[in-house]
Every structure is written in C-alpha cells, then in structure tokens.
Amino acid sequence: MSSYDYDLFVIGGGSGGVRAARVAASLGKRVAIAEEYRYGGTCVIRGCVPKKLFVYASQFHEHFEDAEGFGWTVGESSFDWKKLVAAKDAEIARLEGLYKKGLAGANAEILESRAELVDAHTVRLAKTGQTVTAKTVVIATGGRPNPHAALPGHEFCISSNEAFHLEELPKSIVIAGGGYIAVEFANIFHGLGVETTLIYRGAEILSRFDEDLRRGLHEAMVAKGIRILCHDTLQKVSEGEDGLILETMNNGTLRAGVVLLALGRDPNTEGLGLEAAGVAVDERGAIIVDDYSRTNVENIYALGDVTNRVQLTPVAIHEAMCFIETEYKNNPTRPDYELIPTAVFSQPEIGTVGLSEEEAGKRYGELEVYRAQFRPLKATLSGRAERMIMKLIVDAASSRVVGAHILGHDAGEMAQLLGITLKAGCTKDDFDRTMALHPTAAEELVTMYAPSYRIRDGKRV
C-alpha cells in the first residue's frame, strides 16, 4: 500500500481529465479529480456541444425557406433566444451529470474545488485549504479565450464563453478572428438574424485549411449576407450611446451591439503551483511534455489544451487513453497525431482530413488533384444557390490519398469516415473500385476518375 492518499490526482474535469480519472479508477486505482467550475470542461459546458446546438438552431430559417420549393407553405416563424439558451443549458446540465455519474460509477472521488500543486506529490484544495498527496498527478486544466489585452477597450468585448449566455440577441455583432470559433459563430449569429461582420487580419479566413475551401466558404458566407473584412484588425473599442464603436485599421469606424473576440486560446496554467512543483512551461504558458505526455517532473503528466499540442476534444481523450496505457498497463504509448479529421461547423460546413493541396505540394514531388464542384440535389428544388466542393489530393507516385476536403452539407460526417480510409492508407484505386451509393453527395468521392489537374514540384501544371 502506497503512503500517498491517492494513486492518481487529476486537476481539471474536462474531456481529458475525466477520461484519465474514470479509466484509472475503473482499473482499481485510488483516484481523485478536482474541477473548479463545471464537470465536462470547455467542450461540454461552453464549447463544442452547446456550439453545435446553436448551429442547429441557426439553420432553421434556411430550412423554412427551402421548404417552399418542396411544396410546403410554412406559416409565420419567430425565434426566441432565451428559449434556446434555456434548452441548451438543460441539455448541458444533463451531460454534466453523466460525466459525474461515470466518475462516481468507477469510484473516483469527485472534488468540486480548484486544486493547486504545492510540490510534485502534494495538491492543495482551494475550497477547504486541505492538502492531499498522490503518487501520480495529471494536469488537464484546458485553456481559455485569449483576452487580447493589448486592444484598447477589450474589456467591452466578449469571448465565446459569454456568447453562450447573452441576455439578449444583439441586432449586430462584429467578430474578430478568422479561425474555427470566429467562423462558426459568424454563421450562428447570422443564421439567428443578427447583422454579422467578421474582421480578420490575414488574406483569407481559416488559415490552416485548404485554400480552395477557404475561398469557397468565404464566398458562400458573403452570399448569405455576412460581411467579411480581411486584411484588417480592430484598433480600439469604446462604448457609444447605442452600442459599441470600433476603430479598425482599414475599414474606418464600425458600430455593433456586441464585439466577440475569437483570437485563439491560452493554456490555463496561471496560479497552478507549477513552479512549486518544478513543472516547466513554454513561452505561451503551455506545459511542456514529452512524447508520452509526461512533464519534466517524473510523476506529473499533462493532457489536452493545457499542453497546446492540438486543441481538440478527441485528441485530449486520446492522450488520456495513451497515459493510461503508459502509466497503468506497462505499455508505453505515444499519442498519434497523424491524419486527425476535423470539421468547421460553418454553413456550409467544412470537413477535412490529411494534407491541404498547399501542404501536400511541399511534401510530394507530384500530386493528382481530383476536384468536383456541384449543386447538391436538395438545392435544385429549394432553389438555393449553393455549391459543394470535394477534393482528393493524391500522391502520384504511390497513388495514396493524402488529403480529402469537403465543403457542404454533412462535410464533418463524411470527414470522419474518410479519416478511416486515409488512416488505412487507401489509394485512389481503392476509391475507384468502391461502388457509388446513389443518390448521395458523397458518391462524388468515388466517381472522380480523371485528375482535374496535377501539381508538380509545388506548381500547378
């Protein structure tokens, strides 16, 4: 019997922390987990899950419009923001309960308190001042929105955290940033009837995605009525008589009811006692870990967004499972970051896995690019001016598909399945000999027989 109070102490009750605690406890380890806010973490409480519910809510007005083309007459419709927020909150509370139930069912001790390290094996619970000891510590405290403190007037702006609990839906919103959060919320607010402007410093939104899809999404968003200002940044935000006044670098003065900053997220490491425990962080405050998520302190691991590796829920969960293998199953396992499928829940959606055309062009001597752009069947009767884009990037030498990119309905669902095929190393021939499933949009993926163009030494030929 060890002299520590626990075999494992987990700080942070988000996706990564809960998984590590639950599985370790189910293996018979004595586990405690501490969370200062709500169990479920960013993903469940104020991230992926409530965001997706808001995405659904924001799509209905287009569904109502589309219905007419199919013979329906939809009566007058109206939207109640408070009702949506309350329904979302009820669902989130249910999910939070399930997280706790899973932990309790595995016999992990659930602590509702902030926890800070006193030394490598000792944790202090802020609520009671009590200290406890553990053989192994996992830090999974996640991240928080970058407040952009250098922006004069940033205190008048909100982050995605507050966007989930606005008292009223504003008439207008300006969203700063061009990443996942900015783009998703621009589509949500626009869909709910808010006059929406996106302001982004670069040449094109979603800098890490395939250029073709970025352009396609930008055009689709503008066509819906979202204003997108690229090559521009906010210089100052101040309070006016009826809303906020924004000075921009290149587009003069803007006005908005709400300004949402979506300029990346910072790791939650402040005041955690990392110095006292001797845990090293990088220049952004992220905990530095080795290939097995172990920090420079032998018995302390860190998982998920707090390490700033890949800020995605399934990645944090995967890192937690690798930690379990490494620490408790005598099977050192490194998280695998190759070919992570990802989606942007914009409208239309982006779903992608593998290399963009630009990235693949740098890595492979010759590429075949298969590209289809078409009007989905549903858009024929609805009359919606909407195009889907599908792209496969193929290494010409091996015929392996190294990237797959989709813009359009259910792109995220398709990207999940394409993730399996790319992970399995499927070649273009495998796609070609797969029977099409008709009539679907996805059948395009297996019916693009001739390359649309080639990329040789990074250049289109």
Active-site residues, by number, are: 438
Residue 220 near residue 348 (C-beta atoms within 8 A) = yes
Residue 313 vs 382, nearer CB to ligand NDP:
313
What is the contact mask toward ligand NDP in residues 133 to 172, using x (rule: CB under 6 A)? Answer: ----------------------------------------
- List the one residue from 58, 342, 352, 382 that touches ligand NDP (CB under 6 A): 342
What is the contact mask toward ligand NDP in residues 2 to 21, using x (rule: CB under 6 A)? Answer: --------------------
CA-CA-CA-CA torsion sign (335, 27, 288, 181): positive
Give the footprint of ligand NDP on residues 263-302 (CB under 6 A).
263-265
Q: Would you give the DSSP letter of residue 14?
A: S
Does residue 361 touch ligand NDP according to CB under 6 A?
no
**Three-state secondary structure call for residue 210:** coil
Q: Rounded distance, CA 55 to CA 61, Å? A: 12
- List the one residue from 32, 57, 140, 344 that touches ligand NDP (CB under 6 A): 344
Does residue 399 touch ligand NDP according to CB under 6 A?
no
What is the contact mask toward ligand NDP in residues 177 to 216, using x (rule: CB under 6 A)? Answer: xxxxxx-x---------------xxx----x---------
Q: Which stretch binds ligand NDP (CB under 6 A): 15-23, 103-111, 112-120, 340-348?
A: 340-348
For the CB of residue 265, give the shortest distance to ligand NDP in the complex, in Å: 4
Q: Residue 115 has which token pair?
A: 């926890």
Q: Rounded distance, CA 150 to CA 145, Å? A: 14
Residue 265 vs 400, nearer CB to ligand NDP:
265
Q: Rounded distance, CA 199 to CA 212, Å? A: 20
Helices H / strands E in the chain, number of each: 13, 23
Give the footprint of ligand NDP on residues 243-262 (CB under 6 A).
262
Tally of CB atoms within 10 A around 413 = 14
Q: Rounded distance, CA 391 to CA 285, Å? A: 37
Residue of 329, 328, 307 whose CA lies nearest to 316: 307
Amino acid at 441: A
Size of the site for ligand NDP (CB under 6 A): 22
Element (H, E) at 459: strand 459-460
Residue 182 vs 455, nearer CB to ligand NDP:
182
Task: Name the site residues for ligand NDP (rule: CB under 6 A).
Answer: 177-182, 184, 200-202, 207, 233, 262-265, 311-312, 342-345
